[in-house]
Amino acid sequence: MPIPYIMIRVRDAFGLPVRNAKVSVTLNDKDEFTLHESNDAQGVYEQQVFGPKLTVKVSAGDCFRLTQDLTLTQSLTPPAVTSAFSGGQQESSHYLSSYSRGESTNFNVELQVVMSHLRNFPSTITRNLLPNSIPHFGAPILLSGAAGFNVTEASLSGQGQVFLAERSQAPKMIAIFVPQSLVDKIKALKSENTLQLPFHVMFHPSIPPEYPEDYPFGQKYLDLMDRYLLSNNAPHPAYPFNDRFGFFSKFLALQSNAGSKPCVMVLPIGGRDEQMGTLNTMSAMHLLLHEIRYFLLRQLNVKRPLLDANVGAAAVSGFSAGIRFAGALFANPNDTFFYNKVLKEVYSFDGSFVGPGGDTELSNFCDAVKRWFRGGAEDRALRVYTTNGAWGTHLSSVIGGTPTQGANGSSEAHGPNGSMVIMPTAFWRAFFNTLDADFETKLTNEANLIAAERRKQNKPANPENIKGEIVWSHAHQFIPAKFLEHAKYLQKFEP
């Protein structure tokens, strides 16, 4: 009978060999053998085996472990060994083949696996996208004579698919929206392909300490994902006042469908203690995008995605204190390919470096972004939507354009490769009054209630200051809920 050898070729999402993996094979549910790395090829582990039923187990570092069942069939005339997946092809099983070792009776059964930090979220957790209408901003964005915006309603169907991936390290939940045009393109692929998927990764603010420990599967973390990516109008747990205009719901997936250049929307969900964890360097971000690419292609039934294909262009953004997580990437630009070739656009949705040293953090972040931007401005873009005029002080020179003044201290400027829209609290207070004739009355009532509660806690309780906090908080939530549409509509990189 022909003699089979099991060969396990272990790769990462870049297609690079994984050294020092732990690889074992169990024969017929009884005997387990450890496979050692070949002296002739990196990341290849092999062992002669006998038996029709094999269970392969592979683990490497912090990646999720693979367990794959196989069946072997041997024939004598002509000598041959055939192999097949038993119980289905696992996500990390890249391909399986059987072929001669160059000797008449010896055959290789080769299983290539892709070790990843991602796997599918529990199948009982599913999310769907609801259609809705969002504003489409014209040019200019700001009205010239009143606090308001030059907008028309854009009805977006939200066609596409939402995927949830579990990551082995924080951030441990990765929410992904793929527009339908990209879903269709992926489904049309054959096994080998060079499809380069474009991405936009957005960082939400830090998770507050009152969140529970049941990360990442707990309901509050799922609600956060719903509130940002989809259209859940559940109130924000950290705010004592009402979400008067529904801005806590960000509709990021719907906004991602704006414009004619679709890209994959990625929302990492951080944890209370870990926050964004290991996603704090450009090399980590680059690996995540490759792992998402492989994950999506396998989820959409591409059996053998080409591993050495590059990801497409990417945008990175941060909302509120989430800009710190984007800033961590620029503080650790340890992947020159990602820095020079992949990262094409950066957006700040009222980015806020709160706390002591925040002004220095903002200055350092803007300096780092300017260095990146000037390294290839012809195909890079920078867009800032903010309540804080200091952003304009730091970045207006690189964004360019002629500033246009709006009402109540607002302004905007648009260059060939960027946008700067500054909308201070006075602008927003006037604007909210146009949305609700009773806004000032309701604002006063809310401020008085909050002031009374703060007095009980011996905290500063000036109602006029609290009114400013409330107005700013509504404006702060409005910006990502509406302005991603503008950034997406002007996106420069192609899918």
Interval 163-191: pLDDT, tens = 999 999 999 999 999 999 999 999 888 66
User: Contact 83/49 with Cβ under 8 angstroms?
Assistant: no
Residue whose entry in the numeric block shows the structure tokens 């401020």 = 447
Give the pLDDT score at 236. 46
Query: Is the per-residue pLDDT at 308 higher than 80?
Result: no
Tokens of 308: 């050495």
- Across 121-142, average pLDDT: 78
What are the residues whose beta carbons fall under 8 Å from the beta carbon of 185, sequence distance 6 or more?
195
Tokens of 279: 């996603």
Residue 67: exposed, middle, or buried by beta-carbon count in 10 A (0-12, 13-18, 19+)? middle
pLDDT digits (tens, 9 = 90+) for 241-258: 445 555 678 889 989 888
Q: What percent of the chain has pLDDT over 70?
A: 92
Peptide bond between residue 140 and the one before it cis (omega within 30 degrees of 0)? yes
Task: Indicate the pLDDT class of residue 104, thresholds 50, 70 and 90.
Answer: low
Amino acid at 303: K
pTM beyond 0.85: the answer is yes
Give the pLDDT score at 74. 81
Peptide bond between residue 78 and the one before it cis (omega within 30 degrees of 0)? yes
Distance between CA atoms of residues 10 and 8, nearest Å = 6
Which range is least confidently modeled, 223-227, 228-232, 251-255, 330-334?
Answer: 228-232
Q: Which of 493, 401, 346 is nearest to 140 (CA)?
A: 401
DSSP-derived secondary structure for 315-343? EEEEEGGGHHHHHHHHH----HHIIIIIE
Tokens of 431: 């604007």
Does the domain at residues 3-116 carry the CATH identifier 2.60.40.10? yes
- Across 72-92, average pLDDT: 86
Give the pLDDT score at 239. 40
**Exposure of 107 in the CB half-sphere (CA atoms within 13 A):** 21
Domain ranges of the chain: 3-116, 124-489
Query: Is the per-residue pLDDT at 125 higher than 70?
Result: no
pLDDT digits (tens, 9 = 90+) for 427-468: 999 999 998 899 999 999 999 999 999 999 999 999 999 999
Higher pLDDT: 349 or 226? It is 349
Residue whose entry in the numeric block shows the structure tokens 């290839």 = 376
Task: Indicate the pLDDT class of residue 156, thresholds 50, 70 and 90.
Answer: low
User: What DSSP character marks residue 419?
Assistant: E
Give the pLDDT score at 147. 94
Give the pLDDT score at 75. 81
User: Contact 474/242 with Cβ under 8 angstroms?
Assistant: no
Distance between CA atoms of residues 81 and 52, nearest Å = 10
User: Contact 430/147 with Cβ under 8 angstroms?
Assistant: yes
Alpha helices in 242-399 (DSSP H): 252-256, 282-299, 323-331, 336-337, 358-374, 390-399
